[in-house]
Amino acid sequence: MLGRLKREKRSRRAVWQARGTNALQLAGDLDQLVLRGLRTRGHAPAAEGAMKALGLAGEYGAIWIALGLAGAASDPRRRARWGAAAAVAPAAIVVNFAVKKAVGRQRPVITEHPALARAPSKLSFPSAHATSSVAAAVAYARVRPEAKAPLLALAAAICLGRPYLGMHYPSDVAAGALLGFALGRLAPLPPESAAPAAQPVEPAVEPAEPAP
């Protein structure tokens, strides 16, 4: 009886292990399929040029730092908040690199379709462009909520460009975006400065009429 229970336990474990392996295999196959589709379709010269430009702009969070500095210069009441939010992108890259080193996943290779850009590191998971872009977009949206849609649209375009250029697996981008969202929400931002108090308007004094 005891031997039969042990055999059944081992059998159930083998079934669960097989299911887990199959699920991981399926996820990996889907990752490869989406990567190949993005790397090989929709590659008109204008589209490739736009994605390469976005990739360069997103290196080291450059475009996001520039946006933060511009916001600080043009919005004195929120200057401290813009400055703090501008630091989110480079901070996110530091956190991203720590995760990259821990995971150690290598960048994708499609032999007949090499990557269309260069990177400072061969590590792939998660995408630093995705992490820094989403983190900055979320942080800036906390400063100016009315700009949330265009900020997230820019971040999404930069994220899409990573597998499009063959630089990252789609799962790298998804993980980077999730990490960036968390960092952008958790980043401490100083309170908004109070608007300057309106100066009281002195009532107009009418000249006295001359005595008759």
- CATH number of the domain that 103 lies in? 1.20.144.10
Instruction: Read off the DSSP letter of residue 106.
Output: B
The predicted pLDDT at position 184 comes to: 97
Per-residue model confidence as pLDDT tens for the chain (212 residues):
555 545 555 565 554 455 556 777 888 889 899 999 999 999 999 999 999 999 999 999 999 999 999 999 999 999 999 999 999 999 999 999 999 999 999 999 888 899 999 888 899 999 999 999 999 999 999 999 999 999 999 999 999 999 999 999 999 999 999 999 999 999 999 987 765 544 555 555 555 555 55
Is-contact 155 136, C-beta < 8 A?
yes
Instruction: Read off the DSSP letter of residue 112.
Output: T
Does a structural domain hold residue 195?
no
The predicted pLDDT at position 210 comes to: 56
Does a structural domain hold residue 79?
yes
List CB contacts of 187: < 8 A, sequence separation 6 or more. Answer: 84, 85, 88, 91, 135, 139
The predicted pLDDT at position 29 comes to: 83
Does a structural domain hold residue 38?
yes
Domain total in the chain: 1
Does a structural domain hold residue 15?
yes
The predicted pLDDT at position 198 comes to: 47
- In angstroms, rounded to a whole number, what is the distance separating the alpha carbons of residues 182 and 142? 13
Does a structural domain hold residue 14?
yes
Note if the pTM is more than 0.75. Answer: yes
Does a structural domain hold residue 212?
no
Is-contact 165 116, C-beta < 8 A?
yes
Does a structural domain hold residue 196?
no
Is-contact 146 84, C-beta < 8 A?
no
Please calculate the CA angle 136-105-128 and round it to the nearest 5 degrees.
15
Full residue range of the structural domain in which residue 14 is found = 2-186
Is-contact 117 161, C-beta < 8 A?
no
Does a structural domain hold residue 206?
no
Q: What are phi and psi of 33, to 5 degrees?
A: -65, -45
Residue 83 buriedness (CB in 10 A; 0-12 / 13-18 / 19+): middle
The predicted pLDDT at position 21 comes to: 63
